Amino acid sequence: MQRHFIEIDGARMSYIDQGQGFPVVLGHSYLWSAEMWQPQIEALSAHFRVIVPELWGHGGSDAPPATTIDMSALARQHLALLDALDIGKCHLVGLSVGGMWGAQLALEHPERVDRLVLMDTYLGAEPEATRLKYFGLLDAASAAGLFPEPLLDIVVPIFFHAGGQTVPQVREGFRAALKASSAEVIRHSLDPMGRVIFGRPDLLSRLGELVSERTIVICGDQDIPRPPEESNEMARIIGCLAAQIPFAGHISSLENPRVVNEFLLNWLPRNQ
C-alpha cells in the first residue's frame, strides 16, 4: 500500500488512495492502521476508488493536533481530507472509532455520505465500567512508556474472537506492533486519542437522523468490546438492517475478510 500525506490542522495525516470509481472511505480501529483493511482495499479497489485515512498517531499519521478534542473535530478533519481530494460524496465504512467519527460526519454533513456502514462500533457513550477500565490501561501504558507483557495479555484479546483461535499470525503481528510502540507515541498519540474515543458523548439520540435505507450496522458475532447487542440497539434506533459476521470478533475485516468483502461488494452501489 502506498501512503499519501496531507496537512490538516498543522499535522500530517496519512492516507491510502487506490483504485478508480465512486469513492469508498474506510475508517479503521483504534490501535490499528490502514493495513487492517488490506483485504477490503484489494477487493474494493477493483470497482471503487478506495480512500483509507489513518487516525492521528496511527500508521503514518502525525500525533493529533491540539484541535482534536472530540469526535466532531475528527469528523471535521476527515471532511477536510475529502475536500482536499475533491470528493463531494462517498460511501463510508467505519469500524470501531472509524464508525464513531464516520457517523458524526454523516450526521453533520449528510449530503457527503451516500451509504454508511457502521462496523463493530457503538455510538452511545462508553459504559462507565469499561471507560474507567480503558482509562486505567492508558494510565498504565503512559506511566510505563510501553506496553508490558501483562498489559498486552489484557489488550490484545479484546480485539479478536473470544474463542482465541482465529488468525494467529494477525494476533501475533498486532501484539508485536503494540510492544514496539515508543513512549512518545503512547503518551502523545495513543493516550490522548484513547481518551477522545472512550470519553465520547452519547450520540444515540441523533441516530434517527440517519437515512435508514442507506445505513447498515454489522459486527463480528463474537465482538468483545462492541457486542451484537449494541449493534442491534443502534439498528433499532436508525430503523435499518443489522447483520453479524460469523467467526469474527472486533477486527472482523481481518478475521473473516471473505464475508466482509462479499457483503460490501453486494451492498455498496458502484455508480452514483
Cα distances (Å, whole numbers) of residue 153 to 108, 137, 142, 211, 232: 38, 12, 17, 40, 29
Q: 76 Cβ partners below 8 Å, 6+ apart?
A: none
pLDDT of residue 163 exceeding 90: no
Model confidence over 182-207: pLDDT tens digits?
Answer: 999 999 999 999 999 999 999 999 99
Rounded CA separation 203/70 (Å): 12
CA triple 247-252-255, angle to 5 deg: 60
**Average pLDDT rounded to a whole number, residues 24-52:** 98
pLDDT of residue 231 exceeding 70: yes
Report the DSSP beta bridge partners of residue 14. Answer: 5
Rounded CA separation 9/169 (Å): 36
pTM of the model: 0.97
* pLDDT grade for 150, boundaries at 50, 70 and 90: very high
Look at residue 166 and give its three-state secondary structure: coil
Q: What's residue 267's pLDDT?
A: 97
CATH code assigned at 255 = 3.40.50.1820
Indicate whether 88 belongs to any domain.
Answer: yes
pLDDT of residue 254 exceeding 90: yes
What number of other Cβ atoms are within 10 A of residue 151's Cβ? 16
Q: What's residue 162's pLDDT?
A: 81
Output the average pLDDT for the chain.
97
Q: Which domain holds residue 31?
A: 3-124+202-267
Indicate whether 189 belongs to any domain.
Answer: no
What number of other Cβ atoms are within 10 A of residue 244's Cβ? 17
Give the total number of structural domains in the chain.
Answer: 1
Would you state the cell numbers that stand for residue 75, as one nine-digit string? 469528523
Indicate whether 187 belongs to any domain.
Answer: no
Burial class (CB in 10 A: 0-12, 13-18, 19+), 170: middle
In this prediction, what percent of the chain has a pLDDT beyond 70? Answer: 100
User: Helices 71-84 and 97-108 sit at what angle, rounded to 10 degrees?
Assistant: 70
Indicate whether 64 belongs to any domain.
Answer: yes
Indicate whether 135 belongs to any domain.
Answer: no
**Helices and strands, counts by H and E, the chain:** 11, 8
The 8 Å CB, 24+ separation contacts for 46-49 are: 46/19, 47/19, 47/21, 47/265, 47/270, 48/19, 48/20, 48/21, 48/22, 48/23, 48/24, 48/91, 48/268, 48/270, 49/17, 49/18, 49/19, 49/20, 49/21, 49/22, 49/23, 49/24
Q: What's residue 99's pLDDT?
A: 98
Rounded CA separation 252/196 (Å): 23
**Within 13 Å and on the Cβ side, how many CA atoms surround 96?**
26
Q: What's residue 165's pLDDT?
A: 74
CA triple 218-1-147, angle to 5 deg: 70
Q: What's residue 166's pLDDT?
A: 82
Q: What's residue 19's pLDDT?
A: 97
Chain CA centroid to CA 105, Å: 13
Indicate whether 180 belongs to any domain.
Answer: no
What number of other Cβ atoms are within 10 A of residue 212's Cβ? 14
Q: What's residue 272's pLDDT?
A: 65
Indicate whether 193 belongs to any domain.
Answer: no
Indicate whether 14 belongs to any domain.
Answer: yes
